[in-house]
Structure 1
């Protein structure tokens, strides 16, 4: 029987996976993951609420139950879910139940939205991060919920609106507060 010529076969397409993290300002979370090796996209949006296809104005006004979040699409052959969730913890204050830094209120709460396959890695990562800080976290690991992308004006915001984003970031003292929490391990 002749051997198949594998040089003619098209390359296997990667099986991409996604991860969803709420961490206060979705611009900051998007920036923390965008461009990492293995990350195909980081999309700002909303998760956890009752309103279908919510707008930014609806979410920040309150009452929809959504949180600002980022959906990270990644190639697990290049970067693991565990590496991404390990990074996530270092982008937030996981001890604040009411929001993140200067962004406070229900739409700015933090949470990990994990699939059944991701849950063990998310919990192990959270537990390791709690040991690192020596503190209990209020940021929950919950089941995956519907993700709604934010409007195009919110996508790639930190890159497209550098001056405004940097003024926001510094005004909230996000880098300084993250460094106070995480030390040299801080991201963002």
Structure 2
């Protein structure tokens, strides 16, 4: 299959370590890459991004086959990984580099993300406003290799972190077993 059959989705939902696993093994997912987007520095490093001076957000770029999994399905899975009411970061990770964002690559993705966000707002699931932003995609820079597939490489650390950060508890309490 050639690359022309694949599309990409870019989601920011706090620490990118925790955003890979939910998408990684789904049918139709070609790859999930941890990286940085939305900032002013080309090829930033982790330390530059976490300094808060580059304007980048930690994100994942998902390459997928739209004939096997739809963008709408990806957005739905995205919501289940985040606290869409917290614009100041996600869980224990605070600051702009951890803010929740759906970065769209086309007008079609923008419309689908906005429709999904509106449906979540209207669902009444949360008493606070849904503040996840929907923004045009920016250049995406792959993070350092040690960040890639962190949940596989460092599973014990990943499991402690995802639970200790409050992410797992929030997801269980607010999203259940989706």
Which band: TM-score by shorter chain?
Answer: over 0.9
- Give 1:125's aligned residue: 116
Q: Deviation at 1:134?
A: 4.5
TM-score, with length taken from structure 1: 0.88
- Separation of aligned partners in 2, 1:134 and 1:101: 16
- Give 1:3's aligned residue: none
Which among 57, 60, 63 is matched to residue 50 of structure 2?
Answer: 60
Q: Tell whether 2:129 aligns with 1:168.
A: no
* Aligned-residue CA RMSD (Å): 1.5
Structure 2 gap segments, 5+ residues each: none
CA contact (8 A) 1:14 1:75 kept: no
The equivalences for 1:38-187 within 5 A come to 38-114=28-104, 115-132=106-123, 133-135=125-127, 136-185=129-178
Q: Deviation at 1:13?
A: 6.9
Count of matched residue pairs: 175
Q: Deviation at 1:160?
A: 0.8
Q: Deviation at 1:32?
A: 1.4
TM-score, with length taken from structure 2: 0.93
SS in 1 for 2:171: helix
SS in 1 for 2:12: strand
Q: Deviation at 1:50?
A: 0.4
Structure 1 gap segments, 5+ residues each: 1-10
Larger radius of gyration: 1
